[in-house]
């Protein structure tokens, strides 16, 4: 039996209806509702109602439809008001989500808070003569099942049920979520060729890859389909995958919640986020379109010194360009797309740059320097390599640390910002690049981090940390041998370093196993 498919969505989906009580409802064409009625019975990802406006039940249905859509391989689930149960006749509804409330809160605001970090909930409206329909569109679960009030709901044989009561379906859902990568989920369904061409900057792909732009649009789109950015449907229209939209989208808002994944760069005129700020006007564009522009604009705003070289004055930035670039690309490629409503952010403060992305790294932060390449988003990493933004060799963090050492900057820091245990809270990864500081201005933690990272880089090169090499790394002279010896002793006490020889004159990172016959020190 052929699986039901939703009708093609409009070429430019209207902006969803948000929480403002006086907001004008966003419109869908009546043909879209008729198409859904014609093609889809109530199933895992579709539910029809007439006037039920109970907020708790609505949240349960949204949860069930998100999970059901993921199980059925659909990008969205739909709850449609104005349809008579059973006959599926469009009779109209009196339900108005922009006026509904949950306690003291606007209903739409409450729903988006409830599902923040899990899925996106959007309301639309359609009219045909005197008949109205209200459509709640919920994005399919990504990575893990969606919960509401601690419970995972699911659609089974047209009924809303607790997922835990159906262990076989729960197992299938978890398996499908694990296998279905975010990059190849559908961002736009059933668009004609000309609309895809205007929504995506297709030539930019070939220019970045240093390939000739194909002579016609059909050939160009077919080549992008071969690379997994989109796919052609049997009816000749196109489905744009998240990967294609994220890389080449001219306006990510055309692809719904992907707008939240746009790169943001914010520059503060102070040491924290309370200071006056300027956000670079990058627009909500795909990564391949915005990355080089963002880096150029950012570097122009970073502090620099004028250095006299012969008869010329040259600008010398406080932060190595390569290190800044590597951190931004790393945040894009390794973000956790299962975290909803958050994307990569670059924040420039007085004396430091913070680059934050949603999700934990796949390896412990203390092993980022030496660990082989491992990507959470393999298709995105591969595409970024083809576009010459990254190498997929696991050497990006090594170059960041080496760049800081070459400029005698404080060691970069890498930390996980752990979310709260409550439902919906997420973890984030933050990399921090520091501006120039003297040894005296560095904290104990700064110095220990520098010693550990220097040991890791030295070990990678087949060398060992010594008092002399660490002094050179920190910009110290021979008179400061004792200070560096104390620092090495502190690092050994913390387990960051261990002696590499019996004379204890050279050192390796603490995670390196001692040689045969040597006790751990």
* Confidence band of 76 (pLDDT split at 50, 70, 90): confident
Share of the chain above pLDDT 70, in %: 90
Read off the CATH number of the domain in which 54 is found: 3.30.950
Place of tokens 């639309």: 124
Look at residue 17 in the predicted model and tell me its pLDDT: 38
By CB atoms closer than 10 A (0-12, 13-18, 19+), residue 215 is exposed
207 closest CA partner among 239, 253, 247: 247
Look at residue 19 in the predicted model and tell me its pLDDT: 33
- Which residue did the predictor score with more confidence, 85 or 348? 348
73 within 8 A of 128, measured Cβ to Cβ: no
495 with 348, same domain? no
CA–CA gap between residue 27 and residue 122 (Å, rounded): 12
Q: How wide is the angle at C-alpha 503 spanned by C-alphas 499 and 507, nearest 5°? A: 25
CA–CA gap between residue 105 and residue 474 (Å, rounded): 55
CA–CA gap between residue 320 and residue 406 (Å, rounded): 9
Nearby residues of 71 by Cβ (< 8 Å), 6 or more positions away: 44, 154, 169, 172, 173, 176
146 with 190, same domain? no
- Which residue did the predictor score with more confidence, 465 or 367? 465
Look at residue 74 in the predicted model and tell me its pLDDT: 84
CA–CA gap between residue 497 and residue 299 (Å, rounded): 35
197 with 293, same domain? no
Look at residue 352 in the predicted model and tell me its pLDDT: 96
**How many residues in the chain?**
521
Read off the CATH number of the domain in which 473 is found: 1.10.10
Residue 416 bridge partners (DSSP): 429
Cα–Cα distances (Å) from 241 to 44, 106, 176, 325, 490, in that order, read 22, 33, 17, 26, 51
158 with 25, same domain? yes
Look at residue 5 in the predicted model and tell me its pLDDT: 60
- Which residue did the predictor score with more confidence, 9 or 280? 280
| Residue 200 domain boundaries | 182-257
338 with 452, same domain? no
510 closest CA partner among 498, 493, 494, 518: 498
Look at residue 21 in the predicted model and tell me its pLDDT: 38
- Which residue did the predictor score with more confidence, 204 or 117? 204
Tokens of 412: 């970069």
With b for 16 or more beta-carbon neighbours within 10 A and e for fewer, the 448-459 pattern comes to: bbbbbbbbbbbb
pLDDT at 220 over 80: yes
Q: What angle do the packed helices 321-334 and 396-406 form, to 10 degrees? A: 160
424 with 452, same domain? no
- Of the listed ranges 111-125, 143-157, 186-200, 233-247, the least confidently predicted one is 111-125
393 with 459, same domain? no
pLDDT at 422 over 60: no
60 with 136, same domain? yes
Look at residue 113 in the predicted model and tell me its pLDDT: 87
Look at residue 112 in the predicted model and tell me its pLDDT: 86
Residues 35-55: pLDDT tens digits?
A: 888 766 778 899 999 888 899
Nearby residues of 466 by Cβ (< 8 Å), 6 or more positions away: 505, 506, 507
Query: What are phi and psi for residue 478, nearest 5 degrees?
Result: -65, -25
278 with 192, same domain? no
Domain boundary among 196, 222, 257: 257
* Confidence band of 9 (pLDDT split at 50, 70, 90): low
Query: What are phi and psi for residue 375, nearest 5 degrees?
Result: -115, 140
Residues 462-488: pLDDT tens digits?
A: 999 999 999 999 999 999 999 999 999
* Confidence band of 309 (pLDDT split at 50, 70, 90): low
95 with 205, same domain? no
CA–CA gap between residue 105 and residue 97 (Å, rounded): 12
pLDDT at 157 over 90: no
Nearby residues of 328 by Cβ (< 8 Å), 6 or more positions away: 263, 291, 294, 295, 344, 346, 355
Read off the CATH number of the domain in which 398 is found: 3.30.565.60
429 within 8 A of 360, measured Cβ to Cβ: yes
Torsion 84-89-90-92 (CA) sign? negative
pLDDT at 394 over 80: no
* Confidence band of 14 (pLDDT split at 50, 70, 90): very low
Look at residue 25 in the predicted model and tell me its pLDDT: 55
- Of the listed ranges 14-18, 221-225, 239-243, 367-371, the least confidently predicted one is 14-18
Tokens of 510: 């603490």
Domain boundary among 437, 458, 491: 437
pLDDT at 23 over 60: no
Cα–Cα distances (Å) from 375 to 82, 362, 371, 419, in that order, read 45, 8, 11, 22
Query: What are phi and psi for residue 160, nearest 5 degrees?
Result: -90, 120
102 with 205, same domain? no
- Which residue did the predictor score with more confidence, 34 or 477? 477
pLDDT at 519 over 80: no
Cβ atoms < 10 Å from Cβ of 207? 13
CA–CA gap between residue 344 and residue 327 (Å, rounded): 11
296 with 173, same domain? no
CA–CA gap between residue 330 and residue 328 (Å, rounded): 5
Cα–Cα distances (Å) from 125 to 32, 133, 234, in that order, read 11, 6, 29
173 CB-side CA count, 13 A:
28
45 closest CA partner among 182, 156, 144: 156
pLDDT at 517 over 80: no
496 within 8 A of 450, measured Cβ to Cβ: no
pLDDT at 7 over 70: no
Quote the number of domains for the chain: 4
Look at residue 138 in the predicted model and tell me its pLDDT: 92
* Confidence band of 18 (pLDDT split at 50, 70, 90): very low
Domain boundary among 384, 411, 437: 437
pLDDT at 518 over 60: no
């Amino acid at each position: 039996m052929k699986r039901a498919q939703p009708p093609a969505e409009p070429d430019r989906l209207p902006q969803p209806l948000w929480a403002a009580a006086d907001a004008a409802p966003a419109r869908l064409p009546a043909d879209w509702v008729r198409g859904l009625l014609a093609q889809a019975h109530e199933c895992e990802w579709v539910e029809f109602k007439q006037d039920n406006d109970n907020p708790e039940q609505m949240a349960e249905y949204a949860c069930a439809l998100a999970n059901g859509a993921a199980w059925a391989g659909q990008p969205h689930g739909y709850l449609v008001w104005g349809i008579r149960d059973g006959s599926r006749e469009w009779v109209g509804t009196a339900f108005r989500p922009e006026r509904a409330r949950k306690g003291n809160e606007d209903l739409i605001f409450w729903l988006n808070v409830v599902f923040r970090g899990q899925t996106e909930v959007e309301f639309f409206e359609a009219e045909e003569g005197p008949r109205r329909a209200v459509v709640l569109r919920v994005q399919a679960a990504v990575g893990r099942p969606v919960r509401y009030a601690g419970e995972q709901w699911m659609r089974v044989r047209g009924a809303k049920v607790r997922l835990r009561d159906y262990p076989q379906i729960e197992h299938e859902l978890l398996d499908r979520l694990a296998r279905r990568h975010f990059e190849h989920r559908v961002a736009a369904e059933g668009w004609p060729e000309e609309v895809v061409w205007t929504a995506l900057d297709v030539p930019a792909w070939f220019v970045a890859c240093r390939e000739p732009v194909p002579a016609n649009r059909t050939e160009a789109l077919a080549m992008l389909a071969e690379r997994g950015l989109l796919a052609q449907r049997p009816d000749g229209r196109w489905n744009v995958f998240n990967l294609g939209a994220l890389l080449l989208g001219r306006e990510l808002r055309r692809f719904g919640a992907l707008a939240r994944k746009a790169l943001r760069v914010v520059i503060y005129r102070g040491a924290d986020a309370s200071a006056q700020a300027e956000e670079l006007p990058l627009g909500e564009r795909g990564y391949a379109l915005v990355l080089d522009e963002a880096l150029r604009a950012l570097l122009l705003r970073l502090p620099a010194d004028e250095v006299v070289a012969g008869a010329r004055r040259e600008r010398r930035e406080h932060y190595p360009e390569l290190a800044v670039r590597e951190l931004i690309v790393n945040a894009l490629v390794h973000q956790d797309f299962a975290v909803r409503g958050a994307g990569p952010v670059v924040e420039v403060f007085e004396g430091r740059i913070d680059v934050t992305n949603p999700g934990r790294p796949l390896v412990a932060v203390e092993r980022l320097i030496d660990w082989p390449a491992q990507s959470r988003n393999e298709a995105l990493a591969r595409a970024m390599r083809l576009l010459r933004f990254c190498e997929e060799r696991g050497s990006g963090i090594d170059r960041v640390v080496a760049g800081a050492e070459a400029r005698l900057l404080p060691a970069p820091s890498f930390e996980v910002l752990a979310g709260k245990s409550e439902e919906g809270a997420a973890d984030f990864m933050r990399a921090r690049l520091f501006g120039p500081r003297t040894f005296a201005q560095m904290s104990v933690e700064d110095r220990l981090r520098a010693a550990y990272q220097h040991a890791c880089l030295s070990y990678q090169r087949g060398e060992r940390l010594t008092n002399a090499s660490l002094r050179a790394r920190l910009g110290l002279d021979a008179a400061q041998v004792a200070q560096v010896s104390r620092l090495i002793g502190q690092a050994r006490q913390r387990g960051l370093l261990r002696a590499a020889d019996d004379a204890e004159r050279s050192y390796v990172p603490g995670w390196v196993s001692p040689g045969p016959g040597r006790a751990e020190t």
